[in-house]
């Protein structure tokens, strides 16, 4: 479940950064079209990988329920942190991407 949480938070951060307003707030400039599409694709890919991680860990019945809970928790964390600590969001997303391989290895 930790792997799904890390992937969800990173995915939502990628989707957030694909928007002009949030990209400008966090990084100081508007994204190019190619970067915007890459962030959007990467965000959706990470969310899909989080679904696969949740389902693989506990099966379809409980995995989907846990995935929905992880989606809500990570989105809530992002929504609460973004207005007050935007730089913390970037560092947490980077740290969660770095921690994903460790969380995947811890499952085995």
Residue 80's φ and ψ, nearest 5 degrees, are: -75, -35
CB 63 within 8 A of CB 54: yes
The count of domains in the chain is: 1
From residue 108, alpha-carbon distances to 31, 75, 96, 105 in Å are 39, 27, 19, 6
Residue 97 structural domain: 2-106
Ranges of residues in the chain whose predicted pLDDT is under 50: none
pLDDT 10s digits, 54-68: 999 789 999 999 999
Tokens describing residue 13: 């951060």
> 63 by DSSP, 3-state: which?
helix
C-alpha to C-alpha distance for 24 and 20, rounded to whole angstroms: 6
pLDDT 10s digits, 25-40: 888 899 999 999 999 9
């Amino acid at each position: 479940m930790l792997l799904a949480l890390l992937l969800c938070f990173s995915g939502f951060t990628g989707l957030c950064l694909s928007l002009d307003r949030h990209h400008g707030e966090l990084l100081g400039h508007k994204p190019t079209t190619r970067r915007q599409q890459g962030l959007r694709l990467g965000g959706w890919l990470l969310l899909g990988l989080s679904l696969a991680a949740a389902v693989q860990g506990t099966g379809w019945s409980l995995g989907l329920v846990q995935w929905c809970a992880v989606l809500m928790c990570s989105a809530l964390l992002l929504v609460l942190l973004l207005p007050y600590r935007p730089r913390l969001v970037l560092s947490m997303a980077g740290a969660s991407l770095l921690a994903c391989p460790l969380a995947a290895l811890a499952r085995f």
